[in-house]
Structure 1
Amino acid sequence: MTSASLTVLVQREGIWSYDGRVLLDEMAAMQALYLGASAKSRFSQSEISSARGRFLIARTVKGEAIGCGAYRRLDFDVAELVCIYSRMPNAGIGRAVLAGLESNAAKAGYHTLMVEMSRTNQSGKRFFWRTGFEPAISTSADLRLEQRLFLGKNVV
């Protein structure tokens, strides 16, 4: 299946659903593989299943779960992207999930989406630069900020 023939449907679903659990477990395994065994998620699942958080699943027209994404509340008008995962890189799934997250964030009253990542995450940086994110100022109290990159995008 090529990216040109792939139609993706993105919708809000329960994080506790079977497909939600499988996708998040796959994402965690990929993070451990590429970032080391010490890589841990920076979000709690209750944050993204709250009224001000979102968890979306991308599906093919046949209903196969192929990706997911989530944001949590960071501030009154700022949401933080905490994950975007695709089973098929470079097939447009990540862009579709991001578009769904941006739309949901705007409808929920957020003005800005933020993302934090390692400065060494080259593919993540390319993805977010191409989708309109720009350098942003951190709201984190983390003492290792020089190792992190903060990007933001207006969604209104």
Structure 2
Amino acid sequence: MRPTARHLSIFLALAAAVVLAAPARALDDEGVFAKNKLAEIIAGRPDLQAAFPEGRGNAAMVAAGMNTVEDWARRYGRKEFPNELAWYGRASVVLPKALIERNAARAPVAIDTAAFDFSGLSAHSVLVIDAATRKVLLSNRADDIRSIASITK
């Protein structure tokens, strides 16, 4: 019997189920650990006990968007207790601001509309860049090669 596309799709579905089942068990163990730690933290915090009687948020907590004590753990608890409540954290990685791709030019781009009389300046060269758009607003001899120390003066 020759394998068909249907056999292949069944095989791939079974393989995916096996691969995805292993991390789920690990998360369950971590989740149980985090839930037990959360219960210990609540037991020692009268303020959280008052804010979340029986695990449900009081009116003020619900108004703040925290319906359960687990909502508190996701928003604040994982920051206060990073080792114990890390499971409640985000599953995604947050990139630093410097690594987020912007819709601007990758390098400064000169614009032709800017005009300036450079004769009134005593500086050897000038370079003014708009940080948001990365457009060169003003430049005079900006392409001159300089040693690195000249930028720190």
TM-score bracket, normalised by the shorter chain, equals: under 0.3
Structure with higher RCO (Cα < 8 A, 6+ apart): 1
Please report the TM-score for the alignment, with normalisation by the length of structure 2.
Answer: 0.19
Q: Of the two, which has the highest radius of gyration?
A: 2
Higher strand share goes to which structure?
1
Please report the TM-score for the alignment, with normalisation by the length of structure 1.
Answer: 0.19
